[in-house]
């Protein structure tokens, strides 16, 4: 049997069921590895070692009594955007530095009910705003892939963002899986940069209740794993209607694990011509063509499609998302919870608290959003952006008349160095060029590791499906994963 930290969830479940391994024996190497890796990667905001040990013992007791859940004993990291009852939840912001929720998010409750062992709360961009995990108030996350390029062995690389801590932990074998959230690509882009699987479900498929809000019409929780089968299992556990979430959709939840290994023969895969952007590195275009050929060889039909309003996606996203963030983050004022910085009067306290509590990127987006919503500009910016968003969604609807899935690159490059794009927010925002349209349309998408670039760093391809058709997305992702057979590990692993 492989080392415990090298096992997939599927493999670990089989070993646990066969009594080749106990939950405690599975948890301890992950706890030890996480503690040792923290000083190098800074991938956790908080490590919960004692809680993990307690949960592992309880898992073994349940298994002995024949009451094991679907994910019993599986060590996972929880993105520190999910409220965890009795465990500090910061959203990587100073303003929530000492916030301890009295309630559990629906997604984490489902995971705990299924028996997971929580290793800790993973680092992220502050309030999930970023594509590199450098905006966290607790410092940047370093990718375990740093040092993979012999020509630049001393460069510290970003893991992608905002779910960068989750991506780094899963890629480095410090956690078997992790939760992420995807507002404009924050599951799929770090998955691509870290060489793992990242699944963004349909908007409304997984409950948003108890997740610290960024942009309410875009945010969606999803799994980050090392295999497509593991992502399918996690989605089966976490998906479902939640009456506490007004954006949750009451749709049947199929057994997603049955999609793994299923034939893709007859599926039509669309290649959007608008995604061939100027300046795209040749290796990404070549990988895209190779991925299409692999799916064709597996029995799928490849066709060209058009998504004509794609070019407006980033502009639309960076009006709508900051506008919703401006509204959501208005609650952090020093009155009810979180940081409070006194002032000469009430307005002074508001200003001091928000000025000290929010980082530069969060303040930038609040200002952009407040401007877009202000009198005289609402119609010109926010309302117009919503109209174009509808056109973007209609493009996908038209495309899915001709095809079953869409194949595209996940990110426009491999991982870049920490600080490389820090002073140019526009360049940073361009990292979301392939992922943002999926969020604007509310569709499911998955990033699958598809190869290494010339610099020895991972590149991913994403598959996009119709609303609530994660089954077809997972079916094709499984076929692509099998064809690629990506088995590369980062230089720094457990």
Burial 15-30 (b: 16+ CB within 10 A, else e): bbeeeebbbbebbbbb
Work out the end-to-end distance of the chain between its first and last CA atoms, rounded to an integer number of angstroms: 16
User: Which positions are catalytic?
Assistant: 79, 162, 186
Burial 155-186 (b: 16+ CB within 10 A, else e): bebbbbbbbbbbbbbbbbbbbbbbbbbbbbbb
Q: Alpha-carbon Rg of the chain, whole angstroms?
A: 21
DSSP string of 447-463, one letter each residue = EEEEEE-TTS-EEEEEE
Distance between CA atoms of 197 and 224, rounded to whole angstroms?
6
Residue 301 pairs with which residues in a beta bridge?
A: 268
Burial 448-463 (b: 16+ CB within 10 A, else e): bbbbbbebbbbbbbbb
Which residue, among 131, 466, 441, has the nearest Cα to 267 in the 3D structure?
Answer: 466
- In this structure, the number of other CB atoms found within 10 A of the CB of residue 85 comes to 15
Q: Are strands 445-452 and 301-305 parallel, antiparallel or unpaired?
A: unpaired
> What SS3 state is found at 335?
coil
CB of 445 closer than 8 Å to CB of 188: yes
Tell me, rounded to whole angstroms, the distance of Cα 271 from its chain centroid: 23
Distance between CA atoms of 211 and 220, rounded to whole angstroms?
9
DSSP-derived secondary structure letter, 87: B
**Half-sphere exposure in the Cβ direction for 408 (13 Å, CA):** 31
């Amino acid at each position: 049997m492989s080392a415990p930290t090298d096992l997939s969830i599927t493999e670990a479940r089989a070993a646990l069921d066969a009594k080749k391994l106990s939950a405690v024996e599975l948890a301890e190497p992950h706890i030890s590895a996480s503690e040792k890796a923290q000083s190098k990667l800074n991938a956790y905001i908080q490590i919960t070692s004692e809680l993990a040990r307690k949960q592992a013992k309880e898992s073994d007791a349940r298994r002995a009594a024949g009451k094991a859940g679907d994910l019993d004993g599986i060590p996972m990291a929880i993105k520190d955007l999910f409220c965890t009852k009795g465990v500090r939840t910061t959203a990587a912001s100073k303003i929530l530095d000492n916030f301890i929720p009295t309630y559990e998010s629906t997604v984490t409750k489902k995971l705990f009910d299924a028996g997971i062992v929580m290793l800790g709360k993973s680092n992220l961009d502050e309030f999930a705003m970023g594509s590199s995990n450098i905006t966290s108030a607790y410092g940047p996350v370093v990718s375990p892939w740093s040092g993979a390029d012999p020509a630049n062995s001393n460069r510290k690389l970003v893991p992608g963002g905002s779910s960068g801590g989750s991506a780094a932990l899963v890629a480095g074998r410090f956690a078997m899986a992790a939760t992420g959230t995807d507002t404009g690509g924050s599951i799929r882009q770090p998955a691509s940069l870290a060489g793992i699987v990242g699944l963004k479900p349909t908007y409304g498929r997984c409950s948003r209740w108890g997740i610290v809000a960024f942009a309410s019409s875009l945010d969606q929780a999803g799994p980050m794993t090392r295999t497509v089968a593991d992502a399918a299992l996690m989605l089966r556990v976490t998906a479902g209607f939640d009456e506490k979430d007004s954006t949750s959709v009451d749709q049947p939840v199929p057994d997603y694990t049955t999609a793994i290994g299923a034939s893709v023969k007859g599926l039509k895969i669309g290649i959007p011509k608008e995604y061939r952007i100027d300046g795209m590195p040749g290796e990404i275009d070549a990988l895209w063509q190779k991925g299409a050929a692999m799916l064709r060889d597996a029995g799928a039909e490849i066709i060209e499609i058009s998504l004509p309003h794609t070019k407006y996606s980033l502009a639309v996203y960076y009006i709508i998302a900051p506008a919703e963030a401006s509204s959501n983050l208005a609650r952090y004022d020093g009155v009810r919870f979180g940081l409070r910085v006194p002032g000469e009067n009430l307005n002074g306290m508001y200003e001091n608290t928000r000025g000290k509590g929010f980082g530069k990127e969060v303040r930038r987006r609040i200002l952009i959003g407040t401007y877009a919503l202000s009198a005289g500009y609402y119609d010109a910016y926010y309302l117009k952006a919503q109209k174009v968003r509808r056109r973007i969604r209609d493009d996908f609807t038209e495309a899915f008349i001709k095809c079953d899935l869409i194949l595209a690159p996940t990110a426009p490059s491999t991982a870049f160095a920490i600080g490389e794009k820090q002073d140019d927010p526009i360049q940073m925002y361009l990292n979301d060029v392939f992922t943002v349209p999926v969020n604007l349309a509310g569709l499911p998408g998955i990033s699958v590791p598809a190869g290494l670039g010339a610099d020895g760093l991972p590149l991913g391809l994403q598959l996009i499906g119709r609303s609530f058709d994660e089954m077809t997305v997972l079916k094709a992702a499984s076929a692509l994963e099998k064809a690629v057979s990506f088995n590369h590990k980062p230089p720094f692993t457990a």
